Amino acid sequence: MSKETLWRPLDIAKAAAARRGAHQVVLAGSGTEFLFFIANKDGRQEGYRIPKTPEFNTANNRGVSARDLQLQEMALADWATSNGIPSAEPLDFFEQHGYPVLVLEVVEDDGSVLDSSALGAVMSRMHEKPVPSLALVAQNGSSIHSRIVERLVQRYDVLGEDTELPSLPPNREMIGSLEKYLGQPRLTHLDLRRQNVRVRNGQPESIFDWSNALVAAPEVELARVQEYAAIAENGLNYEDFCAGYAHQDAGAMNDSPAWPILRLDTAVMLAVVFSSVAPNKDLRTMFLGRVRELVSQL
């Protein structure tokens, strides 16, 4: 990443640390939309989650407010810790030089391989919890079935601008299938991968980056994990994840007419990511193939 890209967030992180009486600021992680810095305060570490820009405008997220995502991250991190789901405790939130800064507890990570079965068990517990009363950014105020199809079609159109793709079924048909076959809505994370989990001895100690969260059927989570597992660096094993999620017969979902739609939702999103947001020729080709395969199953 260029110094130009890092300079302003680093400046903000240093100002945030000074505001809180902390020092020794270092960059600890970088994602598509946020940077994470760590500083020392009173002999302990604390983290600063800082957006790269006050508003995000990518092929997958247009006109999304960084402040809204930060407030959602804080609320869901608090909800998770209150409900026995591993997460970092939110410590503070404030505006710094026009950027929303979220201060979080730093959870150590020993670099071990994530136990996908343990992660599946955590998600199983989470999907049993009462849904938090919170307007989620990715939900965009829509019913979940309409929202999934709406964003699928929008992203599919983006892919179709420079790639020949088969036609999708009518929106009404896909929405009807989701309404008929999906289970009861629960809080879903929808960005589960090794990069978003702090791990010790293989066990998930903190799940973070709730930007994609939706109140949706658990099948939506499982379908996303299945597609994510095809990317080696995501550190997921879908079969192990389902084994940890064992009280729900995840395997039976493969026969649902809604299943290809849910997997397509993720495959299209990833094809867009690897086409423009984080270009990767091999992964773009792989997920374009997945997109065509899944459309043929609709």
Confidence of residue 19 (pLDDT cuts 50, 70, 90): very high
Look at residue 233 and tell me whether its pLDDT is greater than 80: yes
Looking at residue 1, its pLDDT comes to 43
CB neighbours of 225 closer than 8 A, spacing ≥ 6?
A: 192, 236, 238, 241
Confidence of residue 31 (pLDDT cuts 50, 70, 90): confident
Per-residue model confidence as pLDDT tens digits over 34-73: 999 999 999 999 999 999 999 988 766 778 999 999 999 9
Angle, alpha carbons 126-52-155 (nearest 5°) = 65
Look at residue 166 and tell me whether its pLDDT is greater than 90: yes
**Residue count of the chain:** 298
DSSP character at residue 49: E
Confidence of residue 276 (pLDDT cuts 50, 70, 90): confident
Look at residue 256 and tell me whether its pLDDT is greater than 50: yes
Confidence of residue 272 (pLDDT cuts 50, 70, 90): very high
Angle, alpha carbons 32-33-38 (nearest 5°) = 100
Looking at residue 59, its pLDDT comes to 65
Looking at residue 60, its pLDDT comes to 66
Instruction: Kindly state the tokens that stand for 271.
Output: 């094809």
Mean pLDDT for the stretch of residues 168-190: 95
DSSP character at residue 276: I
Confidence of residue 7 (pLDDT cuts 50, 70, 90): low
